Structure 1
Amino acid sequence: MATSTSAPPTAPGVHDEDVSQIDFLDPAQVVRDEQNAREHDTEPDEELINSVKEIGVEDPISVRPRTDGSYGAYKGWRRAQAAQIANSTAATEGRPVRKIKAYVRQDLVGRDGWTRFLSLIENRQRADMSDRDALRAQELSLIDMSDVERRTATRALGVGANAAKQAKTAQKLNDATLRRAAAGGMDLEQTAQLVEVAGVRGAEDRLMRALERDHNEGKSGRGHWDQEMALLRAEQADAETRVKAIEQLKAAGIPLLSAPQYGEKDPSRPLAELTTGLGNLLTEDNHKNCPGHSARLDEEHQPVWHCNDPSVYGHKARPKPKKPKTEADEQKAEERARTVACNRAWKAAAEPRLEFVKRLVRGKAVPDEARLFAQRVLLELPRFYGKWADRRRTETLALLLGATDPERESAADVAAHLPKGRLANVLFAQVAAAFEDDIRAPKKFDTARMESVFLWESPDAHQVSYLLLLESLGQADNGSYQLSEVEFQAIAPHRPGADADT
């Protein structure tokens, strides 16, 4: 029969020793608790068994009572198994049959989530627990907890409020990727984000490099990571758009032409280069019944209609002289590819930039640098700000201020519920919303030049000052925000002291 000393149960977060009764149990009474976080490598090794045979189990295990009279080990199950093995051969090997010291947690009966959490903490502090077991334990324990226990557990684990959902997502990675993510220093949220973009070629390596840059700067921010994630999401969305376009063509029964192999002649031609036998122009409508009706997708994944073999189906080439391909044509193609890449990167950069501004606006007080910047814009009233005010589009402002439904909630109503000490936050939010509206699209019409310009190539002075401000504030906030590569490239010639010809 077990001997014990006991202590009354207490609140979550107190150490086992403070709330348990210490018993000496027969190891045969101990089974693996269903909430034991370790689900792999649960057997004791030879070294542990030999040690227990000689000197017994030195460190107490932790158990909770079960309805059948046994005890579930949520900490120390391998030690309990080693004691069972040692006792099974004790008589034949001339050793004493030993009991095992255990902390018996009466207060954990019926508290599966907290039991698994305690098991997770124990096993994380010991070697050889698999990353998958750790993630699964976090997910299951946090789900099956009261709100009070969950707040305590997330603080102890150093994770956020969405940890259970993130842990479930992270388990979709294979074991090798999980090990690399943990070894590279990814936290739970970042590991879950890796799952989100795992289908993008090279995503893991790119995120690892971004994480390394954040770590090397010696700050706690993740600015480089956020920018790389924004780019990967944009590339993934682009790929999904292409897949959707291909599926739509397939559903309509229209073949998608593949690119010709090297040295292979391509008999297909765009309809824009063809006519009927009588010389009439070909269009999608009057060509759709042709057996050669097909398509290729352009850079924006829109169909460009083709005939896969005009000579077979009686079409003629439009009487237009074909220009030989020149070096200028190749340069134009390269410039077009660069434009597409920069446009996509500029749009992607808006997400981490807006998230950073939201954090600034929703803080207790915006930095003085931000307050003075907003004050100057409001007093100088530059043209872009006036145009934004005239449009009366305040959804972005409502979002920055904390609206749950920016499309429906008035920014003024949201601001009215903020403490009066947050006036500077509201003013900075208004100025930032105007800037975000001004720079959202990568291309705009420059009234001074009377021509369209790409902002990643020719930002104006106000846009440059806004990006420089956010860069400075991000660096001051432990590197929590970094300019994207395309933004950095855009403002490089405009930095104080920069060579104008750069």
Structure 2
Amino acid sequence: MTITVPETVDTEPRTADGLRYRSVGELHYLDPRKLVLDEYNVRKKKDTAPDEAMLASVEADGVEIPLIVRPFLDGTYGVLAGQIRMLSAQAAAQKCVDEGREDDILAVPCMVRADLIGQSAEVVAAAVAKSLQENLLRQAMTLPDVVQAAEQLNLLDLDDAALQKAATTAGLTVEQVRNAHKATALPKEVQRKSAQYEFDLEEQIALAEVADVPGAVEDLARARKEDVRSGSKDRGNWQHAMQELLQEKEQRAANAAIRAEWAARGLVEVHKRSWYEPGSTDRLLADLLDGEGRPLDAEQHSAQCPGRAFALDWSGDVVFACADWRANKHKRADLALKPGQLTNAQVAEKNAKEASARGVRGKFVKKLVTEKLSDRAVALTMQVVTEMPSWYAEAVSPGNAKLLAVFFDEPFKAEVYKRPRGFFNGLNARLRRQRRTFNAVFAQVAMGFELHMSRKKHWAVADGWTAEWLRFLKAEGYTLSAIEKEMVAAVEKKEKVEAAKSKSRPSTEAPLPEQPGREDEEEGGPEQAGHDRGDGVQEGPEADGAPSAGAEERADSGLVGHDEVPDGQEDPAPQA
């Protein structure tokens, strides 16, 4: 077939019936050996092997979907779209040549775009995007097809305006186009799993950030399913799962650096255990005593004992151990867990989940404080401002205004307790103009709640205010994480128990005679130590959610214990 550069004509092309049309090329059946990768094809710089499934199909039935090509003056054709089909057809043709069956070579259907000879990247991109648009509308269009389409547009080196136009034409977003390479870089097994769970392009791009975390695909698939079941429009469960996976990825990277550091010091790594199998030789120093029954000194042990070793705690901290405690004549000192106590692993897991949830919740609150407030938000704000629980009073201080600045994207750089007067003047003027003055008060209340819940292990001391805040956020559209649901459930259970006790407890006090003229001090007077919020939870100096001194110590009291064998006993010998 002879190809010539088309001449510019003034008349529009029309069909035999007189209808105008826009040419998308002429269909020709070409020798696969005359096809080459076009300079604008994204995959021309990659060592891409033919797809096995596609190759088997092409060998049997040939290529069925036409490639998009443009002719070159040397008689070859540059493939703009359809590289995998081209590679499969060429591999099938070469197999026929190797086996002496050249007559069996199948021609490849191609839409020849003579109008694209010598055109710029922008013109080629527009043409390819038009074709991709129709392919994307087909029900048979697979995720790999969409990913390849997006990647091809991305590497055409278009300016922002041209890329925006091409992406819109193809039914994609600019962000999807620019990040499509992340999806194509996923390992084949991860791509297979994500396709099995019907992840879309955007979800695959997000998956690429945490694909190296074990179980990431399954965790995200469960979160995605829960979002669909619950009708979450903002992918709340997906966001929580992603945050936890990103946190785990960061922890894994930190752990790798720690392992390298201590291995260089000559210590071997052993597993961090909450219990030991019979016959195990390694043991944490915290569970051992020296020959005289004294606790082992970690520094001395690491310097003198041949069994010097280390383990990584579930929180990423280094703990020291002995690789062979029997050979080095140490004694055991570990104790069994008491009923109801949590292991270190369980505590660390809850801490990590609480920190992860706090990050997602903060983003939601930041969005909430700038929008028009609901009646629920106004009611909760008035309740806190008028009742003034101690945690709120403690939060209202100059240093904590940093969190207000975060909520409203104010560049807060002042030192703690030295915020200059009038720092928020610009923000206040903006809120007044928008008739959102009350948002500042709500933001302050939100600041108090978030600071109240920012202490480590708050999940262990969650109170009625915690549950009220989380229930409010849920009503506003926030998706509670698993640890947040646990806190709410624990508070509600405690409230039910307290309510049942108060109903069954008989009154032992005789009613006091009425005191005329003292109506103003009957309830809630200045000498009253606590008050009831109306939900069954008693408020007071220690009942409003700020735990009394020693609460952290009490929470920590259930975090120890590694073994179930009493001190001084050997591991039971395994049965024959």
What TM-score comes out, normalization by structure 2 length?
Answer: 0.62
SS at match of 1:435: helix
1:400 corresponding residue in structure 2:
407
Distance 1:497 1:287 in 2: 46
When structure 1 is superposed on structure 2, of 153-162 and 345-354 the one drifting more is 153-162
Verify the 8 A CA contact 1:170 1:191 in the aligned structure 2.
Answer: yes
SS at match of 1:456: helix
Letter of the 1:210 partner, please give it.
A
- Alignment of 1:472 onto 2:469: no
Distance 1:50 1:23 in 2: 18
Residue from 113, 116, 121 that aligns with 1:110: 121
Structure with larger RCO (C-alpha < 8 A, sep 6+): 2
When structure 1 is superposed on structure 2, of 152-161 and 142-151 the one drifting more is 152-161
2:454 corresponding residue in structure 1:
440
SS at match of 1:300: coil
Shift of 1:488: 0.9
Shift of 1:286: 3.5
Residue from 246, 263, 266 that aligns with 2:259: 246
Distance 1:268 1:362 in 2: 54
Percent identity between the two aligned chains = 24
Instruction: Report the CA distance shift for 1:231/1:268 in structure 2 as closer, same or farther (over 3 A).
Output: closer
Verify the 8 A CA contact 1:6 1:21 in the aligned structure 2.
Answer: no
Structure 2 residue runs of 5 or longer lacking an equivalent are 13-18, 94-102, 104-108, 501-576
Shift of 1:174: 2.5
Residue from 117, 121, 131 that aligns with 2:133: 121
Verify the 8 A CA contact 2:28 2:111 in the aligned structure 1.
Answer: yes
- Alignment of 1:331 onto 2:343: no
Shift of 1:184: 2.7
1:390 corresponding residue in structure 2:
397
1:348 corresponding residue in structure 2:
356
Instruction: Report the CA distance shift for 1:305/1:487 in structure 2 as closer, same or farther (over 3 A).
Output: same
2:540 corresponding residue in structure 1:
none
**1:417-451: CA deviations, max 9, x gaps?**
846214454443333233222212343xxxxxxxx
Distance 1:229 1:105 in 2: 44
Residue from 151, 159, 162 that aligns with 2:164: 151
Distance 1:371 1:8 in 2: 67
- Alignment of 1:142 onto 2:154: yes
Residue from 357, 365, 378 that aligns with 2:365: 357
After TM superposition, list the pairs within 5 Å mapping 1:74-223 onto structure 2. 74=80, 104=115, 109-111=120-122, 113-114=125-126, 117-126=129-138, 131-132=143-144, 134-142=146-154, 144-155=157-168, 162-223=175-236
**1:22-64: CA deviations, max 9, x gaps?**
765876698664445798668895898699xxxxx9x9x8666
Shift of 1:250: 0.9
SS at match of 1:331: coil
SS at match of 1:294: strand
After TM superposition, list the pairs within 5 Å mapping 1:410-425 onto structure 2. 412=424, 415=427, 418=430, 420-421=433-434, 422-425=436-439
When structure 1 is superposed on structure 2, of 426-435 and 64-73 the one drifting more is 64-73
Verify the 8 A CA contact 1:35 1:116 in the aligned structure 2.
Answer: no
Instruction: Report the CA distance shift for 1:280/1:246 in structure 2 as closer, same or farther (over 3 A).
Output: same
The RMSD of aligned alpha carbons is 4.9
**1:210-229: CA deviations, max 9, x gaps?**
11121223453311111222
**1:363-412: CA deviations, max 9, x gaps?**
5x344433443354345443222212225233332222234x65579872
- Alignment of 1:429 onto 2:432: no
Letter of the 2:226 partner, please give it.
R
Distance 2:264 2:220 in 1: 36
- Alignment of 1:303 onto 2:318: yes
Letter of the 2:154 partner, please give it.
L
2:459 corresponding residue in structure 1:
456
Residue from 236, 241, 254 that aligns with 2:249: 236
Instruction: Report the CA distance shift for 1:115/1:428 in structure 2 as closer, same or farther (over 3 A).
Output: farther
Distance 2:110 2:301 in 1: 88
Verify the 8 A CA contact 2:42 2:151 in the aligned structure 1.
Answer: no
Distance 1:232 1:174 in 2: 18
Residue from 485, 489, 494 that aligns with 1:492: 489
- Alignment of 1:483 onto 2:480: yes
SS at match of 2:320: strand
Verify the 8 A CA contact 1:26 1:99 in the aligned structure 2.
Answer: yes
Shift of 1:8: 11
Instruction: Report the CA distance shift for 1:398/1:309 in structure 2 as closer, same or farther (over 3 A).
Output: same
Shift of 1:349: 0.6
Verify the 8 A CA contact 1:267 1:310 in the aligned structure 2.
Answer: yes
Residue from 237, 243, 251 that aligns with 1:224: 237
Distance 1:344 1:45 in 2: 51
Letter of the 1:484 partner, please give it.
S
Distance 1:99 1:265 in 2: 68
Instruction: Report the CA distance shift for 1:48/1:467 in structure 2 as closer, same or farther (over 3 A).
Output: same
1:478 corresponding residue in structure 2:
none
SS at match of 1:394: helix
Shift of 1:241: 4.0
Letter of the 1:141 partner, please give it.
L
Larger Rg computed on CA atoms: 2
SS at match of 2:310: strand
Verify the 8 A CA contact 1:270 1:305 in the aligned structure 2.
Answer: yes
Shift of 1:465: 1.8
Q: Provide the aligned length of Structure 1 versus Structure 2.
A: 448
Shift of 1:130: 6.1
Verify the 8 A CA contact 2:70 2:112 in the aligned structure 1.
Answer: no
What TM-score comes out, normalization by structure 1 length?
Answer: 0.70
